[in-house]
Amino acid sequence: MLTPDGKIEPWSEMTPKKRAADKLRRFPTLLNRWKGGYAKFWRYSVSLRVFVIRIERAGVKGNLEIACCAEHICGPVEWLNANIEISLEPDVGYVIQDRAAGVRVVGEAVEIAEKVKLVYVGLGEPDSSAGRLPTQPTGSG
């Protein structure tokens, strides 16, 4: 983050409030790049409290994943024309929402990543010729 005098302030020296502002500053660029895509609740881990929304767009390679430590999840599990916004509300936390779709997720922390590869643990690679995942585990064991 740039300081008022034009110097770069290292992440390690930022206050939590400055870190949140720096993170929020980067989100709109990525979210706008995937605006209008197909969004879905992609993954939820109870033990890790990780919730992930994935956005994909027809004709565009890759995806965008929004991960958070979710405390409240509300909305349809998938929707078209995604228009997700992320904000930090005092006394609430990070809010991930798509107002038109009726999606609202509240969490303690948020991260965004592009071009996240699919992970097929113990199943090997997807069988693209069959259009589905393999049903048998791979490897000898």
Q: pLDDT per residue over 10-57, tens digit each?
A: 767 778 778 788 788 889 999 999 999 999 999 999 888 899 999 998
Least confident of 45-49, 63-67, 68-72: 45-49
pLDDT digits (tens, 9 = 90+) for 96-117: 999 999 999 999 899 999 988 7
pLDDT-above-90 percentage for the chain? 52
Q: What is the mean pLDDT of the chain?
A: 81
> Which runs of E-coded beta strand occur in 1-136?
38-45, 50-56, 64-74, 78-79, 85-89, 93-98, 103-114
- Alpha-carbon distance of 112 to 63, in angstroms, equals 11
pLDDT, residue 105, reads 97
pLDDT, residue 128, reads 38
Overall pTM > 0.85: no
Q: Is the pLDDT of residue 129 over 70?
A: no
Q: Is the pLDDT of residue 122 over 50?
A: no
Task: Dihedral sign for Cα 98, 104, 109, 114, please.
Answer: negative
Q: Is the pLDDT of residue 119 over 70?
A: no
